[in-house]
Amino acid sequence: MGWDQRKVVLILGNFRLGCGGKIASESLEQAVAEEKAELGELDEFLAQFGGELEEAEQELSQIRDRHAQVIRDRQKRKALGNQVDIVRPDRDLAKNKAVRQQLTNQLKALQENIAELDLAMESRLFAESGFNEVFWQAVRFGGLGVVIGWLLERWIG
């Protein structure tokens, strides 16, 4: 006996009890139709919810992948920054022109790699200087708004 058949049996039992054993066929058919409509709506809702849940899981997976990529890129950028900090003093201390040129080329390559990583990490969002710039713009224009508001209040009041 399937789920729909059990529902019909329960509905029939309820009508028998409610009608003193007499079954009103019109009300029974109407109740069965309403129950089927509700089940159809429920199935539709569950299918839609399942699809939306899968989309949310995919988006979460993409966010996790992107987060892991940002962490790897930050670690790589830090390592390249450390190499730059090592190569730069060596280049400045080098007396031989050939060695100095080789270290300069190596330093340029490291800086290009850092620039590529910054681009990959969307450095405008993650770099400290980017946050720093936005912070000071907010302080400057927010403070300017407060000062203008204060002057207007003094002038009007």
Report the distance separating Cα 101 and Cα 80, nearest Å.
19
Report pTM. 0.48
State yes or no: pLDDT of 24 exceeds 80: no
Q: Is 126 exposed, middle or buried (0-12, 13-18, 19+ CB in 10 A)?
A: middle
C-alpha distance from residue 124 to each of 62, 79, 129, 134, 142 (Å): 20, 20, 8, 10, 21
- Are residues 113 and 57 in contact, defined by beta-carbon separation less than 8 angstroms? no
The 10s digit of each residue's pLDDT in 97-155 is 888 899 899 989 999 988 888 887 765 554 445 566 677 778 778 888 888 888 888 88
User: Where exactly are the structural domains of the chain?
Assistant: 3-126, 129-157
